[in-house]
Chain A
Amino acid sequence: MAKKQQTAELAKVGVAVALTFIAGYVDAVGWLSLNRVFIAQMSGNMVLLAVHLVAGEDGHVWLQVDTIVGFFVGLVISGSVIEIGMRQHMRCIFVVALVVEFLMLAAFAIAGSALPPSPFAEQDHSDWLTYVLVAVVAFAMGGRIPRCAWREFFRFSPRI
């Protein structure tokens, strides 16, 4: 019994680490290719929002707002869907969040091929495609597994 519990605990940590790996990966790709925004780290975006506001850089301000709103909406929608599923005692409800994340990241991968080839270069391409992609990927990152579910699902807060 104790061994079974230990295995389940290990499995949960494995899932948490895999999802954290994806968060780090997408954050790096997003920052390099989507006009210097953090897709999975909202603290950084809040600081950048303030900095761009003070500097009067409207394009960047709207991009930061786009990211934060996309992330927030993703969290709220995904959190609600998971909560409804959990109240219905659907054991695989988290898979729904993962499928949505997969579809959105796949859309980003396909559309991302159209982005400039040298992502390390300083760039400012705040066109409509950047805004849409930022919103889509931020929604995916926000909607993966909401924090309240993480806490109970993994019996600890991953605090990412």
Chain B
Amino acid sequence: MPRLNSPAELEKHRQQIKSSGDPEMPCVAICAGTGCLASGADRVIEAFRDEIEKQGLKAGVRIRETGCPGFCERGPVVVIYPEEICYLDVKPEDVPEIVTTTLKEKGVVERLLYEDADTGERAVHESDIVFYRNQQRNLLENNIKIDSRSIEDYFAIGGYSALAKVLSEMKAEEVLEEVKKSGLRGRGGAGFSTGIKWEGSRNAEDDTRYVIVNADEGDPGAFMDRALLEGNPHSILEGLIIGGYAVGAEEGYVYVRQEYPLAVTNINRAIKQAREHGLLGENILGSGFDFDVIVHQGAGAFVCGESTALMTALEGRAGEPRPKYIRSNIRGLWNKPTVLNNVETWANVPLIINRGSGWFGRIGTEKSKGTKIFSLVGKINNTGLVEVPMGMTLRDIIYKIGGGIPGGRKFKAVQTGGPSGGCIPEKLLDLEVGFDELSQAGSMMGSGGMIVMDEDTCMVDVARYFIEFLTDESCGKCVPCREGLRQMHRILTNITKGKGKEGDIETLEELAETAVEASLCALGKSAPNPFLSTLKYFRDEYEAHISEKRCPALYCRDLISYYIDPEKCSGCMLCLKKCPVDAIEGKKKQVHVIVQEKCTNCGTCLDVCPSKFDAVRKLSGESRGAGQNE
């Protein structure tokens, strides 16, 4: 393990690594990120090991366990190099065929390729797949190219060259200037200018400064930061060391949630490797700059993603935000100037140094630069992580990359920005994604959550769900958040249960105003967004629930009933047999009837009714009464 004492030694080491490997040597890259592992990637990896050995290819094929390339919907993902053949949904039993056909005979296993839903065409290479084709993966592209456990792999793709450049050629002020000029804004939520934040810390009068990676990713359904930290931990580390140099910090922290065990393991391993190579510790690359990193595992409180709560937790106290009116880049951790940035923000830093602020500034919109990783989930065909230039429209993300809505259902809304983001309706689908654009639409960028909802989603219930999450995650310190959210949740729950009353909307609006204006931290201040945005764009749904006791999306269980259309029912007995509460009466070849008093609205009858009959219907509101009387 060589300690690298200068940028020249690093370059030499890099060249040695590159020349020791044959670029034409076949390599099986298998995603070993959390998503693919959950779909059985570990067994696929095992199967490749066994099969390659069995077929006598062990000496000539490399197996690479990689980070997440993003297409989690179709995992386990396998890419065979040098041809870059991409196989999806790979199972252990597919492995012998892949080894024989692709590795030995250089052919393609057609059935494991991506098939375009519209044209039926198969895509051989990763870059041909529509999901990837419309992305710009500056940050995620390396995940599949390196073994996330190998610092050599990171060196081979040019790793730590930005750090070497900074330490040997740039003054701290020049690094600051470059980051400022790039227009990079924080990827964690508020979208504050990274360069200005750094500059504030550098200029604050103090001897000690800190830099922190916020990896306390807690938004439901969001896993951008996990993918980066698991898949390419050295890129985060390199960004952090550069940040430490720029602001004058000698100590950095990675605050990562305990629920990300693989990310914790990988970043710890990366830190150990970096220390061994002299990239952390004293006199980094012979520059005289000292810097080291400590990993701190969060205990699972969502609010600890809030910067001051995170710092309080790092200090060893209960993770509650601070009431102070002073920015933490001036007085943060242990009252010292502290720069806290999100994982994705740090990952952008080496790219900006290597490729220049001009390159970065050309990507994106006027005020939102670079790419952004979104976690595209919900009612969408291609679930996964997508990295796109800022300024791409929501429509393009959802339809061109995400492949639209499954099951022929209609799009209804997309929720961006995590639980305290907002729901954006169809009429705003041509909105270009950017910090300010999303805020103006009543939502926010947040850390990049994007949940697609179809016509079967009840927007009142969506608001209730997110407010419930936030009520549960409130730290409980200030009244507008702790008590205000509790009451908002109670009222929203009542509305979805048909117990809404006149005046509820106004009460909710007043509670929302109190939380937005008077809460202590960003959690409380943004918590009413799910309610406010759904009220703004879907007010008619609130009114239907309250005044007509009707759920237009036919979702709220207390407001719907099931009804068997006598014209369509053939008396097949299927629903009658499957009904868990024996609420269906009828005989073979006789029309079945649901006894509403017994029915619990579980929906089993609708699920089991054969599509050729399609006799069970959901009703809500007035029509529900009509259905019941028949």
**Bound pair (A, B):** no
Q: Which residues of B contact A (CB under 8 A)?
A: none
